[in-house]
Amino acid sequence: ASHQGSVAAAQKAPTTIDTSKFMAPPITELSVLEGKPNDMRTKMELMIMRIQSEFCRALEGEEGAGCKFTVDRWRRHNPSEGGGVTCVLQDGKTFEKAGVNITVMTAPLSKELQASMRARGKKLPEDKKFSFFAAGISSVIHPRNPHVPTIHFNYRYFEMQDEDGNNKHWWFGGGTDLTPYYLDEGDVKLFHGVLKSACDRHQPDYYSRFKKWCDDYFFVKFRGERRGVGGIFFDDLEDTDPEKMFGFVTDCADAVIPSYLPLVKKHKNDAVSEEERRWQLLRRGRYVEFNLVYDRGTKFGFATPNARIESILMSLPLHARWEYMHQPAPGTPEYKITEVLKNPKDWV
């Protein structure tokens, strides 16, 4: 594997980047990363590899002995376009399905994606061909116990330019959001509080803006409800110094563990009834609906030529259930959470 290198190579160019704790070697050649240590592409790739590893190890710490993430390092159909590292833990004691994926890729921007970029306000001349660079981490954790919420986060950096190296664009996007099956207000407050702290260190209005953006984004129109209790969501962040943006995105990614692990520890051994398990599976059906019908990241994946579909759909739960006209009875805990999904609240 390239992160170990040969003795000869190590003597020629001593490694200054420590990749020993990563789940796998970075996608980009180490020599390239080391040659451009201050390039945002390098910084982003190393950050997401670190976060991936720290999050996977933290989750493994909540699992039974011997239950580890499998690490799948893959390249795109055209290897020069990059690839990713998909880490999955399936059918564990604590986690029914946990996926943590990083992608680092450069590829031509399809016409379909160019049109969708224009619809989002990017100024891309019609007569030019564009390519993009993307480095991002994306994760969805579906725990076994219905009292432990599902978490999703995604942090990404994009660059785009035309075939002549002009019309350059760059931006950051991302977010972290929580999907509980049962409402524990303390959990939701802790989760939002940690995200707010991360935001507040950067700009006073970030949390309120990005909290609202999250509530709006994760809306399933045909159900009239949100996927979960929100968190933060932002996209097209390009209005300030890239270094500052990178610092913000890094802080958000570092906030994932303290926002979520306490909830896992608190509830992973809660007693579970058959009815609670059934409710969890029904809500997982709703999660599938959002991800397949609305999620922009999934749609972007579907529209990317030779997309690695298994890494995109890693977000889907191990099990989901659909019943015709299932409606929780008023006053039940199942009803309580649906009320919050219909009417988002301020938690901090």
Mark the segment that binds a second copy (CB under 8 A) among 34-42, 84-92, 131-139, 241-249.
Answer: 84-92
DSSP 346: -
Mark the segment that binds a second copy (CB under 8 A) among 28-36, 149-157, 191-199, 302-310.
Answer: 302-310
Nearer to a second copy, 19 or 179 (CB): 179
CB of 133 to a second copy, least distance (A): 22
Tell how far CA 65 is from the center of its chain: 26
90 touches a second copy by CB under 8 A: yes
342 touches a second copy by CB under 8 A: no
Nearer to a second copy, 46 or 140 (CB): 140
All residues at 6 or more sequence positions from 104 whose CB lies less than 8 Å from its CB, including other chains: 26, 27, 28, 41, 45, 48, 82, 83, 84, 134, 135
Q: How does DSSP assign 2-70, residue by residue?
A: TTT--HHHHHHS---S--TTSSS--SS-HHHHHH-TTSHHHHHHHHHHHHHHHHHHHHHTTSPTT---E
**Cα–Cα distance between 221 and 208 in angstroms, integer?**
22
Nearer to a second copy, 160 or 314 (CB): 314
9 touches a second copy by CB under 8 A: no
Half-sphere exposure of 213 (CA within 13 A, CB side): 16
71 touches a second copy by CB under 8 A: no
Among 88, 198, 245, 263, the residue binding a second copy under the rule CB under 8 A is 88
Q: Is 152 a catalytic residue?
A: yes
Contacts with a second copy, residue ranges (CB under 8 A):
72, 86, 88, 90, 97, 99, 221-223, 281, 285, 288-289, 292-293, 302, 307, 309-310, 313-314, 316-325
